[in-house]
Amino acid sequence: MSISDVLTRVATHYQNLNAANVLTISRVIAVPFFIVALAYNHNGIALVIFVICGLTDGLDGFIARTYHQRTKIGAFLDPLADKLLLTSSFITLALVELPNTIPFWLIVTVISRDLIISIGIAVLFMLETNVTISPTKIGKLTTFLQLSLIILILFFNVSGLRRPDIIHLVCWITFVVTVSSGLGYVYKGIRLLNTTSTDLDKADNDSQTAEHES
């Protein structure tokens, strides 16, 4: 490997460590601290950490768009950081004993949706489909509602408020939007699979035609 190749790799490495990606990475690093704070009943600290993570979720995207700091690693890390934060939050809230918590059926729904989407993306990649990972509007709404629900529950636990009626309403709204967004991604995945299958059949037919002509 030449010196120029080494310098190019170093430059690419530091180019990826822009402000937007640093914020995204900090969100990943904050996840275990949030879990520990929640597990040891430090709800105030957990709420502060989660709110900061939620703010960085919007801020890193804004910085990336405004200052042209979009990178491939950023496009990969941002949804990963969201899934780590949300999934760990839902599971931890289900395991710890708190006055206000998330119902088990909603936790199963959220995790099942994420698993189905992840498996679908993996299948499309294995089929060498041209997959573009871009969140839809309803997908963004789903993330917003899930973040808001967790903040609401943490706030109620910190303040000592008991409003199961509000939590129940937000849980059902989150459930409906989560399922709707999941079905939307499944529909897009099926369309991509059908397109890929059609392209492969066309390529096989073209290959057979070329062999007959030769």
Phi, psi of 2 (to 5 degrees): -80, 165
Which sequence spans correspond to the domains of the chain? Answer: 1-97, 101-213
Cα 149 from Cα 188, distance rounded (Å): 27
The pLDDT of residue 148 = 93
**142-181 burial: b if 16+ Cβ within 10 Å, else e:** bbebbbebbebbbbbbbeeeeeeeebeebbeebbebbeeb
pLDDT at 204 over 80: no
- Given a cut of 50, whether residue 173 has pLDDT beyond it is yes
How confident is the model over 1-32, as pLDDT tens digits?
A: 554 343 344 334 445 678 888 888 899 899 99
- H-helix or E-strand spanning residue 197: helix 164-213
Q: Dihedral, CA atoms, 50, 51, 56, 59, nearest 10 degrees?
A: 160
Tell me the mean pLDDT in the region 128-156. Answer: 84
Burial environment of residue 23 by CB neighbours within 10 A (0 to 12, 13 to 18, 19 or more) = buried
- Calpha distance 4→10 (Å, rounded): 10
- Whether pLDDT at 37 is above 50: yes
Give dist(CA 83, CA 146) in Å, integer.
11
Q: pTM higher than 0.85 for the full model?
A: no
- Looking up tokens 């700091």 gives 69
Res 132: pLDDT: 62
